[in-house]
Structure 1
Amino acid sequence: MAKPNGVCDRPTAVTFEGCNGLQLRGLLIQNSPRNHISIDGCNGTQVSGLTLYSPGDSPNTDGIDMAHSTHVSITNSNFHCGDDCIAINSGCSDVNITGVSCGPGHGISVGSLGKDGDFAQVDSIRVNYCNFTNTLTGVRVKTWPGGTGFAKNIFFDHIFINAAYHPIIIDQHYCNGASFCPEKGKAVQVSNVFFTNVQGTSAGPEAIKLDCSSDVPCQNIQLQNVKLTSSTPGKSKVYGTCHSAMGRFGSIPQVTCR
């Protein structure tokens, strides 16, 4: 039966729950009905050599969704999907992602976190040597107003962006596409987030967006050796915006926080 919004219930293609020492290698999944792979409550997971392929306009076809999982390694894989290539949700720690190519899709995201006032905790996430081509976003942290908890020690290093519409985002006013997301007096604390050696092009004008909560500002956000230009030859320069983020911003375009 269709849901009220017209979206049918569709299953995840492959789900792993409560696994220890999971090893997933060389898998191809094409045209998943919803998210391709779910990893929930797992410890010591190693993923490599995956190819996940669904059209860029297929709704909610995340590549890998993970939650409540620790010591996760994802390497040398290709993701083509209609939502986040990898989504790192609450309860995750010590996650290492290296050598992943994403596009189309919505990039690699921490979150979303804190929906409906939930407590969230994410710690020690490393995303290295990953490529993003024609994605909606590149590397992103997203939290809902009104949540609690923390997302900290997140490292995006040696990232190459090719025509992502929003290459770098921290969004503490996320509400799943709604145009107005008011603050609610609480927020998931975002801190120690490092964007280092991020190079490439932006398809949209706003290449860098640091939109943090006035109630719980982002702490120790670092942009180091970040250079993003327009993907359209001859187009005006891209820009960066910042609200309620504390840190050091060494980037092109320049970011000044307010």
Structure 2
Amino acid sequence: MLVIVSPSLCSKTGKPNIPNTFDIVKYGAKGDGHTDDSNAFLKAWEAACSSTKGTPILIVPAGKIFMTQPVTFHGPCKSETINVMIRGTITAPQNREHWKSDSNDHDSWITFNHISGLVVNGGGTLNGQGASWWDKKDASNRPTALRFLGCDNVKHGPLTHFNSPRNHISVTGCDGVLISNVNLIAPETSPNTDGVDISSSTKVFIEHSTISTGDDCVAINSGSKFINITNVKCGPGHGISVGSLGKHGECATVEEVYVSHIIFTRTTNGARIKTWEGGSGYARKITYDNITLIGVKNPVIIDQQYNALESVGRGVKISDVTFRNFRGTTKDKKAIELNCARIGCTNVVLEEINITSLNGNRPSSSCSNVQGSCYSCNPTVTCLGH
């Protein structure tokens, strides 16, 4: 019997193609939920960030719980892209007295600093262990769980975040961020636990996610433009907010915001724009479209006098705002509130609004110092043209 063996099957020699991976366990991480694994994370990151082979992948393996103190992963990295694949659970110290931080990372638990082409995914879990922080009255001293600082071309998700001491994700000074398929979860009573806070950033996309926290599902702050939020389930929480803007007389700017296909469930607010009197700047070109409301207290609200004690005659200008295709229920007597200061809000358009009360009564609306129009609105907004 003659057997002919193909040379192509036998002539392949050398090492197999090993992916460019950096498993934190190989760098000393224990993953027992108690040992401080911060140094192992930083060692693995240094190796991955220094790699020049393709896309390096830092792996947090499944089936283990890795406890870390506040850590900052610094860039830039040598590769064009870098992947942090979180398959297991990363947990903060269980009690705030056990947190160790210095002046560089006291405001965040995990920070990615000036990294381009960053992907953070894997379907794992971040547990911020926030409960011991929530009775601390000064929210400014509570850390954010995850911060992207000065990062460009970022992709985040799928991932689940639990119980941040403050907001779960901060996007600060970034250009090009996609957050998708994330679950952000904290008790309804947990203070200041925003889902995503955006500031000084451009081209931020949030999509296909569920956010259930004790504050804003998304807060869009000054310096943000070209923000797109779509297919998000929000609630409980405080809704999706632009602002607050202009606090302490600051100049604040937000523009080109598009929020669509959102389901608000039992939130304090739905679509909200909030600015302080005494500030300056603008909030403009903002659209909320295709919104479903389930027992929302304040479905549509503009507050140009947020937390105002007295009228000062100046503020952040609000213009070119559209609320379109809102449908569902409110648990309050008032469904629409457009509370603008003496400087006024201009070109505010409401279209195809149908909001009813949970008790079957027709809800009311209120407005002041607003110029705009209302087409097919229930409830009607009497100060706007038809």
Q: Same fold (TM over 0.5)?
A: yes
CA distance in 2, matches of 1:97, 1:200: 20
CA distance in 2, matches of 1:132, 1:71: 23
Pick closer, same or farther for the CA change 1:245–1:49 going to 2, 3 Å.
Answer: same
Residues 285 and 319, structure 2, Cα contact 8 Å, conserved in 1: yes
1:91 aligns with 2:223: yes
Pick closer, same or farther for the CA change 1:239–1:30 going to 2, 3 Å.
Answer: same
1:243 aligns with 2:368: yes
Larger proportion of helix = 2
Measure how far apart 1:7 and its partner are: 5.8
CA distance in 1, matches of 2:291, 2:253: 24
Q: Secondary structure at the match of 1:21?
A: strand
Q: Secondary structure at the match of 1:129?
A: strand
Ranges of 4+ aligned residues in structure 1 off by more than 3 Å: 1-8
CA distance in 2, matches of 1:40, 1:227: 36
CA distance in 2, matches of 1:190, 1:41: 23
Q: Secondary structure at the match of 1:181?
A: coil
Match 2:349 to one of 218, 222, 237: 222
1:253 aligns with 2:379: yes
User: Residue 69 of structure 1 corresponds to which residue in structure 2?
Assistant: 201
User: Residue 52 of structure 1 corresponds to which residue in structure 2?
Assistant: 184
CA distance in 1, matches of 2:156, 2:249: 34
User: Residue 328 of structure 2 corresponds to which residue in structure 1?
Assistant: 200
Pick closer, same or farther for the CA change 1:122–1:59 going to 2, 3 Å.
Answer: same
For residues 138-165 of structure 1, what are the alpha-carbon distances to aligned partners after superposition, in whole Å with 9 as ceiling and x for unaligned?
Answer: 0100000111000000000000110110
User: Residue 214 of structure 2 corresponds to which residue in structure 1?
Assistant: 82
1:187 aligns with 2:315: yes
Unaligned segments of structure 2, at least 5 residues:
1-132
* One-letter amino acid of the counterpart of residue 170, structure 1: I
Match 1:11 to one of 136, 143, 148: 143
Q: Secondary structure at the match of 2:152?
A: coil
For residues 29-69 of structure 1, what are the alpha-carbon distances to aligned partners after superposition, in whole Å with 9 as ceiling and x for unaligned?
Answer: 11111110100000011110010000011000000001000
* One-letter amino acid of the counterpart of residue 248, structure 1: S
Query: Relative contact order: is structure 1 or structure 2 higher (C-alpha 8 Å, sep ≥ 6)?
Result: 1
* One-letter amino acid of the counterpart of residue 193, structure 1: V
CA distance in 1, matches of 2:258, 2:139: 34
* One-letter amino acid of the counterpart of residue 174, structure 1: Y
Q: TM-score, normalised by structure 2?
A: 0.63
Residues 145 and 181, structure 1, Cα contact 8 Å, conserved in 2: no
User: Residue 301 of structure 2 corresponds to which residue in structure 1?
Assistant: 169
Measure how far apart 1:257 and its partner are: 2.1
* One-letter amino acid of the counterpart of residue 172, structure 1: Q
User: Residue 106 of structure 1 corresponds to which residue in structure 2?
Assistant: 238
Larger proportion of strand = 1
CA distance in 2, matches of 1:7, 1:225: 39
Measure how far apart 1:8 and its partner are: 8.3
* One-letter amino acid of the counterpart of residue 226, structure 2: D
Aligned residues: 251
Residues 174 and 181, structure 1, Cα contact 8 Å, conserved in 2: no
Residues 272 and 302, structure 2, Cα contact 8 Å, conserved in 1: yes
Measure how far apart 1:10 and its partner are: 1.8
Residues 49 and 76, structure 1, Cα contact 8 Å, conserved in 2: yes
User: Residue 231 of structure 1 corresponds to which residue in structure 2?
Assistant: 358
CA distance in 2, matches of 1:4, 1:57: 14
Unaligned segments of structure 1, at least 5 residues:
none
Measure how far apart 1:6 and its partner are: 6.4
User: Residue 120 of structure 1 corresponds to which residue in structure 2?
Assistant: 252
* One-letter amino acid of the counterpart of residue 149, structure 1: G
Q: Secondary structure at the match of 2:351?
A: strand
Q: Secondary structure at the match of 1:121?
A: strand
